[in-house]
Amino acid sequence: MQIEKTKLDGCLIIHDTVFGDNRGYFFESFNKKTFLEKTGMDVNFIQDNQSKSSRGVLRGLHFQHGEHAQAKLVRVLEGKVLDVAVDLRRNSPTFQQHVAIELSEDSHTQFFVPRGFAHGFVVLSETATFFYKCDNLYNKASEGGVIYNDASLQINWQLSANELLISEKDQVLPTLSEMVDTIQF
């Protein structure tokens, strides 16, 4: 496991060691002891989620706040996505900044998004199966989000607006400036 830091403190790109031969490949996708040794973070994942989406599906930007805030370790099992994290921690030097990374089935790269971040992704391949581990259970009352096209974030989703498929719920999320004072991490 190789850890690559991003410009956002706590957001990490994880490059796993993949062992391949003529039969296929094998890699250890998570080992709590190794993760702690490499990152210094003692994360206890308690919920796994998976989604399958078509090209252009944009899910996000979502978060949970308060006692139900979640850290996530995400990866792509099939296909390719652009994955985005936005720093919502008021005391952070990178508050309101984002980082974007391509994740694919071929790269076997994972992305760790700590508590205090909004998270989302868009599918760049025909379909994608997205998998993520969470360190806290889903709690509807604690969920929130930021509109994907917030002008202050200037996220390049790599697809044109007419290619995006966005849920009704995600189309009416507030801008960062409209909601930032209402969340606590």
Strands 165-166 and 57-64: parallel
Question: Which residue of the set 65, 98, 119, 132 is catalytic?
Answer: 132
Please give the pLDDT value at position 17: 87
Amino acid identity, residue 159? Answer: L
pLDDT digit string, tens, across residues 94-109? 999 999 999 999 999 9
Residue 56 binned pLDDT confidence (cut-offs 50, 70, 90):
very high
The residue type at 144 = G
pLDDT beyond 90 at 167: yes
Catalytic residue among 25, 62, 68, 108: 62
What residue ranges define each of the domains in the chain, with the CATH number in brackets?
44-182 (2.60.120.10)
For residue 62, indicate whether it is catalytic: yes
pLDDT at 9 over 90: yes
Percent above pLDDT 70 for the chain: 100
pTM: 0.94
How far is the C-alpha of 31 from the C-alpha of 152, rounded, in Å? 37
The dihedrals phi and psi of 34, each to the nearest 5 degrees, come to: -65, -40
Determine if the peptide bond prior to 124 is cis (ω within 30°): no
Give the list of residues 6+ apart from residue 99 with CB closer than 8 angstroms, or none.
6, 7, 8, 11, 84, 85
65 a catalytic residue: no
